[in-house]
Amino acid sequence: MSSSALGNEPQHTTQHPDHPAPHHPKMALAARITLVVLLVAELMDILDQSIVLTALPAIQESTGAGPAAVQWLTAAYSLMVAVGLITGGRLGDIYGRRRILLMGTAVFTMASLLCGLATGTGLLIAARVLQGAGVALMIPQVLATLHVTFVGENRSKAFGLYGAVLSLANVLGPVLGGLLTEADLFGLSWRPIFLINVPVGLAVLLFGNKFIPDSTGQRADRLDLTGMLLSALAVVLTLFPLTEGHTHHWPLWCFAMLATGLLALGVFLHHQRRKQHNAPLVALSLFRGRQFSGGLSTQLMLGLLCGLFFMTWTLYLQRGLGLTPFHAALAFVLLSLGELAGATIAAKSGGRFARRLPQAGTLVALVSMASYGLQAQMFQAKLTLVAMAAPVALIGFGLGMVGGPLADMSLARVPHEDAGSASGLFNTAMHLGIALGTALTALVFFAATDGSSDAGLNRDAFISVLWWVGGILALMWALMFCLPKQANSRAD
């Protein structure tokens, strides 16, 4: 299936055009199938990050895993994804985005089967690492293929649906994980949360091979191995101490690793400058335009917000308000449903409002967050799930208006030959932001509670967190001025 059948024939990308490119506004059937396959691939990644959380107690009981092993069931996956995203994106530029996406899907599907068959924590963690490697290959190709395949209003709708899928996964993950574990299908306990990926992955392989158009970057002809190693080293040395620092009470080795990580980043950037005319891993020219730089910075702040807010909110709901885990999960579902509604509106807008839409969403989230903070301050322990329903849903609604349009406009002027590299950087910014936000919780939340489960301390600490979250939202709003003001100020 050719890219031209999808309504676009990119000027800077090697594809297989069989027919002239139609520019009608309605998306063709083949394009819709392509979009569904790409979004299902994205859905598998987001689901696999969240579906595990509700099954962790069952996994621990079944395998006898200790606290450190349980933590690494999630950390190993996330770290591997973050390490491989930039390289995975560039591999798509060089060897073909469809090929690398299908390769990553195959690795992810096989690793999911290994997770479901694992008899001990060692094999399970190793399989989770393999899952992360598959995702690092697969996910950058989703945004890159959307970027080079769709144009005009169809492009904005595709990115809007991309944001909606992220929101949907946030709703489905914990719920599906709980249902599958509780159902104990065929006496398999937690194993179906991984085994469900096998038929879905096989479907992506089958339909992806038939419907996803292949594309490569004309100037990307070989992989920068030195750059790959330096980027991986910089990411590991930065993310590992940020992830583990609080658990180990921030020992000296954490700060030493962070400093070494910054040094590795500097060496990497120097190497990339020297390689700019000789197949670099990252095209530094991407950062010359404020649209990509501003969008990437906003994505980093969005990850920071997620890492800081959602962890502390969980503790506030259960320790500060005394909600059961089930009712706390309902609060998350409520926020995610609001997020899904906001993302749906963004998808239907077709990009007509350009940066005004995500900026409006950021302001809605900011005002709703302030309202929620006032509620928490006024009602203290008496705040109920019903009373907080409106501000929580509106916070989600505002955030839902950000994700899809932000990705769309950040990548809009990226040359097609660098689409994979840019997509890898964009996804890496989110992972780095989440790690930074998680680390920040130690300073603005855990330092105030000192690990205590006292309800009053947890409520006060969470209210102080909301000031930080409000500041992050205000900074996101300001950074969005780097995005285009009008819908037609993009490169299609």
Residues 25-67 have pLDDT tens digits of 456 788 888 899 999 998 888 888 777 766 777 887 788 877 6
CB 227 within 8 A of CB 282: yes
Amino acid at 361: G
The pTM is what? 0.79
Q: Which residue has the tokens 């107690």?
A: 57
Which own/partner pairs from 1-6 qualify as long-range (CB within 8 Å, at least 24 positions apart)? 1/30, 1/34, 1/210, 1/211, 1/212, 1/213, 2/213, 3/148, 3/149, 3/213, 3/215, 5/30, 5/31, 5/213, 6/30, 6/31, 6/34, 6/149, 6/150, 6/213
Distance (Å, rounded) from C-alpha 454 to C-alpha 152? 53
The pLDDT, as a whole number, for residue 221 is: 66
Distance (Å, rounded) from C-alpha 201 to C-alpha 253? 40
CB 38 within 8 A of CB 139: no
Render pLDDT for 67-93 as a digit per residue (tens, 0 to 9): 667 777 877 888 888 888 888 888 988
Average pLDDT for 350-372: 92
The pLDDT, as a whole number, for residue 470 is: 95
Distance (Å, rounded) from C-alpha 257 to C-alpha 252? 9
The pLDDT, as a whole number, for residue 265 is: 93
Which own/partner pairs from 271-277 qualify as long-range (CB within 8 Å, at least 24 positions apart)? 271/226, 271/227, 271/230, 272/224, 272/227, 275/224, 275/227
Distance (Å, rounded) from C-alpha 140 to C-alpha 430? 13
For residue 249, give the DSSP letter.
T
Per-residue b or e along 99-120, where b marks 16 or more CB atoms closer than 10 Å to that residue's CB: bbbbbbbbbbbbbbbbbbebee
Distances (CA, A) of 93 to 15, 86, 235: 12, 11, 21
Distance (Å, rounded) from C-alpha 225 to C-alpha 325? 46
Q: How many CA atoms lie within 13 A of 62 on its CB side?
A: 19
The pLDDT, as a whole number, for residue 48 is: 81
CB 258 within 8 A of CB 241: yes
Lowest mean pLDDT among 96-100, 245-249, 258-262: 245-249
Render pLDDT for 421-466 as a digit per residue (tens, 0 to 9): 888 888 888 888 887 887 788 788 887 887 777 889 999 999 999 9
Lowest mean pLDDT among 276-290, 310-324, 365-379: 276-290
Residue 187: Cβ-neighbour burial (10 angstroms; 0-12, 13-18, 19+): exposed
The pLDDT, as a whole number, for residue 258 is: 93
The helix/strand/coil state of 280 is: coil
Q: Which two tokens stand for residue 329?
A: 């999960």
The pLDDT, as a whole number, for residue 23 is: 43
Residue 130: Cβ-neighbour burial (10 angstroms; 0-12, 13-18, 19+): buried
Q: Which two tokens stand for residue 205?
A: 């392989």
Greater confidence (15 vs 260) lies with 260
Residues with Cβ within 8 Å of residue 47, at least 6 apart in sequence: 169, 172, 173, 176
Cα 12 from chain centre? 27
CB 357 within 8 A of CB 349: yes
Q: How confident is the model at residue 1 (pLDDT cuts 50, 70, 90)?
A: very low
Q: Does the pLDDT of residue 20 top 90, yes or no?
A: no
The pLDDT, as a whole number, for residue 30 is: 82
The helix/strand/coil state of 131 is: helix
Render pLDDT for 330-347 as a digit per residue (tens, 0 to 9): 888 899 889 889 988 888
Residues with Cβ within 8 Å of residue 268, at least 6 apart in sequence: 227, 230, 231, 233, 234
The helix/strand/coil state of 217 is: strand
Give the angle subtended at the CA of 159 by the CAs of 154 and 162, to the nearest 5°.
Answer: 130
From the CB of residue 197, how many other CB atoms can be counted at a distance below 10 Å?
26
